[in-house]
Structure 1
Amino acid sequence: MARILVKDDDLVVRLSWREKAAVHRGSVRVPLAAVRRVTVEPDWWRALRGVALHGVWIPGVLCVGIRGNPGGQDFVAVRPGSPVVCVELRPTAPFSFLAVSVRDDVEATAQRLRRLAPDIDASTPWRQPLPVAEETETSWKELAVKTLR
């Protein structure tokens, strides 16, 4: 299972060796200043949004990798049956959202991130909805092209 750590001024998602092998990448690092909101999602499947772009998606076993949606790209490392720490990020970050099932106490991890991030948006304890792109006659074709890249 993945771990969320704070090293210097970065939030680090350290993956297990199996997760690294599945997604073909090492740890994920984002600046702590890019953290906008931290929430806990009790249902693991609600943390997944968009379509799978790269990674391993075995429903009921493991979902790890990059997912695409109209708001950008998300990095997820979730396991069924465990709550998920959800981290919304500002546009300067490489991802727009991180969803991670952690080994440690989920609430304690979320509280620690809220305390250490310099500029948390505390206006609402819930995640914000994804932006919805305006639909046109060609929008579905454009989405399909983006997904296949």
Structure 2
Amino acid sequence: MARILVRDDDLVVRLSWRERAAAHRGTVRVPLTTVRRVTVEPDWWRALRGVALHGVWIPGVLSAGTRGHAGGQDFVALRPAGPVVCVELRSTAPFDFLAVSVPGDAQAAAEGLRRSAPDIDASTAWRQPLPVAEETETSWRELDMYRKR
């Protein structure tokens, strides 16, 4: 099972050998300064966003790899048992979002990351919604007009 660690000034996601093989990549490393928000998602499947790009997706068993969406790319290493540590990253990071199933207490792992990251956004304990490219204020008005016809 993957582990989230803080090494020097980096957040490191260390994958098990099976997860490395499934995700087609080794360790994921991002600077701590790019960490924007850390939350815990109680339902592992809610952490999945977008469509699978690279990796292995076995429903109910393992989701490991890169996922793409209108806002960019996410990296996930998820198992269906237990909560998931979700890390939102700033635009300078290689990914927009990391979702990792960790062994043990996910809340404690998330709290440790919050203490280590220098500039966490603590305005809300919830993840921010995924941006949708075609969603604008005028598109909502157009949709309302279409529904009234």
Do they fold alike, i.e. is TM over 0.5?
Answer: yes
Aligned amino acid, residue 130 of structure 2: L
Task: State the partner residue of 1:145.
Answer: none
Task: State the partner residue of 2:105.
Answer: 105
Task: State the partner residue of 1:95.
Answer: 95
Q: Which structure would you say has the larger Rg?
A: 2
Aligned residues: 135
Task: State the partner residue of 2:13.
Answer: 13
Q: List alignment gaps of at least 5 residues for structure 1.
A: 136-149
Distance 2:134 2:29 in 1: 32
SS at match of 1:52: strand
Task: State the partner residue of 2:142.
Answer: none
Please tell me whether the aligned partners of residues 24 and 54 of structure 2 are also in contact (alpha carbons under 8 angstroms).
no
Distance 2:125 2:28 in 1: 24
TM-score w.r.t. length of structure 2: 0.89
Distance 1:2 1:103 in 2: 7
Aligned amino acid, residue 76 of structure 1: V
Distance 1:130 1:23 in 2: 22
Which deviates the most, 100-109 or 88-97?
A: 100-109
Mapped pair 1:28 → 2:28: yes
Instruction: Please report how far the alpha carbon of residue 103 of structure 1 lies from its aligned counterpart in structure 2 after TM superposition.
Output: 1.1
Please tell me whether the aligned partners of residues 23 and 65 of structure 2 are also in contact (alpha carbons under 8 angstroms).
yes
- Find runs of 4+ consecutive structure 1 residues off by over 3 angstroms: none
Aligned amino acid, residue 57 of structure 1: W
Aligned amino acid, residue 64 of structure 1: A
Distance 1:15 1:89 in 2: 19
Aligned amino acid, residue 114 of structure 1: R
Task: State the partner residue of 2:141.
Answer: none
Q: Percent identity?
A: 81
SS at match of 2:95: coil
Please tell me whether the aligned partners of residues 39 and 127 of structure 2 are also in contact (alpha carbons under 8 angstroms).
yes
SS at match of 1:20: helix
Aligned amino acid, residue 19 of structure 2: E
Distance 2:81 2:17 in 1: 20
Distance 2:62 2:21 in 1: 13
1:1-149 mapped onto 2 (5 Å cutoff): 1-134=1-134
Aligned amino acid, residue 37 of structure 1: R
Deviations 1:39-70, CA, capped at 9 Å, x for gaps = 00000000001000000000100000000011
SS at match of 1:19: helix
SS at match of 2:54: strand
Distance 1:30 1:19 in 2: 18
Aligned amino acid, residue 99 of structure 2: A
